[in-house]
Chain A
């Protein structure tokens, strides 16, 4: 057997690591870390090795969880986290690290095999699991432990309302869709018979019978399927505004009312077919729109997941201090909390005692932890990477900074795209004209020939319904969003598709965008007698005990782990320890040589120099560099092939930017740009008539992202950046970017075709209908045909989108890459 190059469990490259062996049922496999070993072993013990055969993408690398789940068994906490159901206690878990359907299968099967689990189901699409268990036989902590041992991070979902709402909305719409669809088919069938009967003759009683049956079928469609439109129209009218639903309801009620009346008096025309068809297509369009909307909520969902479920509250009982675990939902302002190392801050507050470093990457995008002392403020969702501190709670729940970001994101998602708003506005003005015009036509026909008045007026109303006009952009954007989401590009702002299509120039930030944001040692300069590899080994040995992002740059040569004693991590300085009897220090130059206090030296977040010293004498220096993303070059080349300009605006030094620009083939770049300078550059480009798409990740990019025509954030970026961006690259990869631009341009073309078609149809058919040349049934067919054409035209986006990506890409979206553990998952798991 060849020596494996990838981890059996997570698929990560084994190069530069000490591989571990794991004994499975009838084979032995090589894994990269203890987390993977534990996961593989557990999966094998449960007899679920099939997982490795059927998974589409390797799972996310398990992060050894430091969280103890035992506090979940406290009765009060359990009460807030779960609810009692018929068959046992039920809890909803949100699971991080699901990459494909095989993962959900694995979790479901593993849970089902446990004694005491009544029901377990995992939804891959939403990442939610529902577990019902028998309290007498198993505890919640055991369930949580099992899921985390499998290599996933479970979180209890307490705010379940949004989830339930989503599900209820989806189910209700599906039901309405089914009623409208089946009803439409039936009524159409009768309508064909009636039309044939009109031309070839039909016995009057059969005719009357068919009409009554049509009425019977159309009524539930009208009342059940059409209910949302009537309700919305009533809401709009009570607010004295005209939305699409008003004329829709008007036409529906008029056509239905006239048909009922004509059925009753056995004369005239019936329009049940038009009514049911109309409702069905409206519902289809609404369903497509809803699906796109729900997909977007996942981003904000993972943000809300940042908060832990429990906190350690310190309460005083006389002189004694009592430490109790409470649910975060029960925290009150003024509570004193203990935040241990590696825990996530559960609420906004102020540090009372102790000093530590906090990883605020999810808020600010800053990869280096920030030092906070007594009196300093800490934000909910940040990670304590230093030492334990005590804090008082200042604000909780919806008052926290994190909650406001989530709210911001939600608001952005609920906005309707500008082009749809425009179409709706035009439609609504048009409709007012139509309603007035129809009244005129009715009066005119009453004067000329009263018998044809109703048919002509109804034909005008049906023909004039700007259904296709409003549906056109709506369905095009919805299918473009869905096609983009399938490629790993999430549309969080509805104008984004249009913006992408208009883009003429793509501006990149450097760190974290064109580069991976992961530090690696680019050069090691020995200053003493020790060879470079020895220096690296010493550095790696020291840095293993540090959580600092820079520490991850150092990896020891395989099999050369050195023993370190007396390791001490000094905040803002570095690490010290004794190796081979000699005291070493690694970190900033000041810290390593022991000259000045450590905090005098600051990293600028970019390339940094790390010094290794022994007894105050420098042994070696390491230059750290950000590594370019492997896909950057190809993506940029593809963008240029599409005729888009490319540019780098970076805060880094020229020395760091120009090699990268050369590597990616970007000729326009600017180094040492402050956020303000970046914004200025983007604005001046915009004034020159360019439409700018800005790709960035950090908080320092937020203003530029806001100033650009369309903004794209990497999914590892800070929460604020995600909130201000129009699009999020979910897989944290640039690969999907060129395709997104091409797709958006196709979407725009289709949108224009739709609008042109709908406009032309209305302009031509309206005068004909007003002159009484169009019978209402022809008007209904014309109206429905124009809507169907528009919908089918838009759906081409989905079909082509699927045809272009291979099935493999679809099944294994870039997010499945084990390297790309989003910070969300990382912080929440710790």
Chain B
């Protein structure tokens, strides 16, 4: 049972890290906009933003 005397402080430290991480995320504005970032992944990086070949087919 004495292992809990070690494990619980360890878990508390982890919780502390979690809270610090969350605070950091909130402070740097990561929770301010929850909509647009989801779209970023669909988009090519700006450095190699070559229009896909299928682009003209999709144009109305």
**A binding-site residues for B, Cβ under 8 Å:** 4-6, 8, 25-27, 29-30, 47-50, 52-54, 101-102, 104-105, 109, 112-113, 121-125, 167, 170-171, 174-175, 178-179, 182-183, 186, 190, 203, 206, 209-210, 213, 216-217
B4 contacts A124, C-beta separation under 8 Å: no
B4 contacts A186, C-beta separation under 8 Å: no
How many whole Å from A298's CB to the nearest CB in chain B? 14
- A26-B56, A27-B56 given as contacts; is B19 within 8 A of A179 (CB)? yes
**Can you list 13 A-B pairs with a CB-CB distance of less than 8 A?**
A4-B60, A6-B60, A26-B51, A29-B59, A49-B55, A50-B43, A104-B36, A105-B39, A124-B35, A171-B26, A186-B11, A209-B5, A210-B4
| A122 contacts across to B, CB distance below 8 A | 36
- Judged by DSSP, the binding face of A is helix
| A121 contacts across to B, CB distance below 8 A | 33
| B55 contacts across to A, CB distance below 8 A | 26-27, 49, 53
B51 contacts A206, C-beta separation under 8 Å: no
**B binding-site residues for A, Cβ under 8 Å:** 1, 4-5, 8, 11-12, 15, 18-19, 22-23, 26-27, 31-36, 38-40, 42-44, 46, 49, 51-52, 55-56, 58-60
How many whole Å from B42's CB to the nearest CB in chain A? 6
Checking B26, B42, B44 against A174 with a beta-carbon cut-off of 8 angstroms, the contacting residue is B26
B5 contacts A101, C-beta separation under 8 Å: no
B23 contacts A123, C-beta separation under 8 Å: no
| B35 contacts across to A, CB distance below 8 A | 101, 124-125
A54 contacts B43, C-beta separation under 8 Å: yes
| B60 contacts across to A, CB distance below 8 A | 4-6, 8, 29-30
How many whole Å from B46's CB to the nearest CB in chain A? 6
**Chain A: CB-nearest residue to B36:** A101
How many contacting A-B pairs (Cβ < 8 A)?
96
| A5 contacts across to B, CB distance below 8 A | 60
B39 contacts A54, C-beta separation under 8 Å: yes
How many whole Å from A785's CB to the nearest CB in chain B? 25
| A30 contacts across to B, CB distance below 8 A | 60
| A203 contacts across to B, CB distance below 8 A | 1
B43 contacts A105, C-beta separation under 8 Å: yes
| A6 contacts across to B, CB distance below 8 A | 60
| A54 contacts across to B, CB distance below 8 A | 39, 42-43
Checking B1, B26, B40, B59 against A27 with a beta-carbon cut-off of 8 angstroms, the contacting residue is B59
Measured between alpha carbons, how far is A490 from B39 in the docked complex, in Å?
25
Measured between alpha carbons, how far is A389 from B1 in the docked complex, in Å?
87
| A25 contacts across to B, CB distance below 8 A | 51
- A123-B32, A182-B18, A186-B11 given as contacts; is B4 within 8 A of A209 (CB)? yes
Checking B5, B27, B40, B59 against A8 with a beta-carbon cut-off of 8 angstroms, the contacting residue is B59
How many whole Å from A544's CB to the nearest CB in chain B? 27
Query: Which 5 A-B pairs give the minimum distances between C-beta atoms?
Result: A27-B56, A101-B36, A101-B39, A178-B22, A123-B33
A48 contacts B49, C-beta separation under 8 Å: yes
A102 contacts B39, C-beta separation under 8 Å: yes
- A6-B60, A26-B56, A179-B19 given as contacts; is B49 within 8 A of A171 (CB)? no
B38 contacts A186, C-beta separation under 8 Å: no
Measured between alpha carbons, how far is A6 from B38 in the docked complex, in Å?
28
Extra contacts besides A53-B52, A125-B35, A175-B22 (16): CB < 8 Å: A25-B51, A26-B56, A27-B55, A47-B46, A47-B49, A52-B58, A53-B58, A101-B39, A105-B39, A105-B43, A109-B46, A122-B36, A174-B22, A178-B26, A182-B18, A209-B4
| B56 contacts across to A, CB distance below 8 A | 26-27
Measured between alpha carbons, how far is A52 from B22 in the docked complex, in Å?
35
- A179-B19, A182-B18, A217-B12 given as contacts; is B27 within 8 A of A171 (CB)? yes
| A53 contacts across to B, CB distance below 8 A | 52, 55, 58
B46 contacts A49, C-beta separation under 8 Å: no
How many whole Å from A125's CB to the nearest CB in chain B? 6
| A4 contacts across to B, CB distance below 8 A | 60
Checking B23, B38, B49 against A50 with a beta-carbon cut-off of 8 angstroms, the contacting residue is B49
Measured between alpha carbons, how far is A50 from B52 in the docked complex, in Å?
9
How many whole Å from A32's CB to the nearest CB in chain B? 12
A213 contacts B8, C-beta separation under 8 Å: yes
Measured between alpha carbons, how far is A298 from B34 in the docked complex, in Å?
17
| B31 contacts across to A, CB distance below 8 A | 170-171, 174
- A27-B59, A171-B27, A203-B1 given as contacts; is B51 within 8 A of A125 (CB)? no
B1 contacts A112, C-beta separation under 8 Å: no
B26 contacts A105, C-beta separation under 8 Å: no
| A101 contacts across to B, CB distance below 8 A | 35-36, 38-39
